[in-house]
Amino acid sequence: WQEPFFAMQKFVAFVLSVVCLGILEAPSCSAFSSILVARNKFFQTSSSSFRQSQACTERRSATCFAHNPIPTILQLKPKGVLDLSSSTRSRSSVKLAAGRSDLDVRNGKNGANKGTMIYLLVLANALVFMLSKYGHVSTSALYLNHQHAAWYQLVTSTFCHANIQHLSGNLFPMLVFGRLVEEELGGFGLLVAYLVCGVCSNLASLFLLSATTMSLGASGAVFGLFTVAVMSRLSVRYFSWRSMIEAVVFGYFVWERLISEVAVTSAGGIIGVNHVAHLAGAGAGVALVLGIKVLLAMLERGESSARA
């Protein structure tokens, strides 16, 4: 059974070599000559692949696989990606290959950091609901009571939900757009955006809705994440075609949601849905991103004037 396995492994490695080494590493050659270059590079190292792999199997040594000459994903060095071969790792620092890196070096992201703050926010919302629903812990004091409001309720009410439908309806867009915000602003920036948009949406509800209202839910903060995620990707100075595609796709979704909220609110709204919080949260997200950009521009002007 080993011969078909290693034959398939060699075939897959050859395909990867053709795509990555031939097409990307030799763009000046023609397509046919690029394939020949990749083929020669592959078969220079693959002639003894089966023999060494078979010896590794017989000796049962895990270290043998580190010396297997079959090219791996980390050993392929197309333009614009990090060279992670052993020769590069022995150097004092890892350098980017020629061309624009697929990694977002502008924001200091290395592709490995997936972010954890959004998952902590999701867990916090789910934990509060689980305690109130199945732990028989009363969380009504955390709701925003418009008649006797406490300052902490502006924050705590954004982590409370009435039922499982209310919770799941908020967690899904929170996870999707929260990850986008964390990619751009980091974990602390995501937390600030969530809290600022949630508090602003609760303040708008407190002043515009009836005193007998009880407000709860993360929807105001989620609508804020909608606008923050889209606007943070709109940058003329640091243009990226990937960011622009994301801004268009997610921006259209957010635009439709906002138009729907405005139409429903102008028609009288839906009982039990806080449309004011939705619109206020989205507006807070826009104001937050614009404020951050203005602040950064002022700091840059101050630094340039100080240098002059």
Q: Residues with catalytic annotation?
A: 219, 278
Query: How far, in Å, CA of 201 to CA of 209, rounded?
Result: 11
Reduce the DSSP state of residue 226 to 3 states and report it.
helix
Give rounded-to-5 percent helix, strand, coil for the chain: 65, 0, 30
In order of 185, 255, 274, 305, the CA distances from 225 in angstroms are 11, 13, 17, 34
Measured in residues, the chain has a length of: 308
Counting beta carbons within 10 angstroms of the beta carbon of residue 111, is it exposed (0 to 12), middle (13 to 18) or buried (19 or more)? exposed
Q: Rounded distance, CA 289 to CA 125, Å?
A: 24
Whose structure tokens read 């919080």? 277
Residue pair 208/256 in contact (Cβ under 8 Å)? The answer is no
Q: What angle do CA 51, 34, 3 make, to 5 degrees?
A: 20
SS3 assignment, position 215: strand
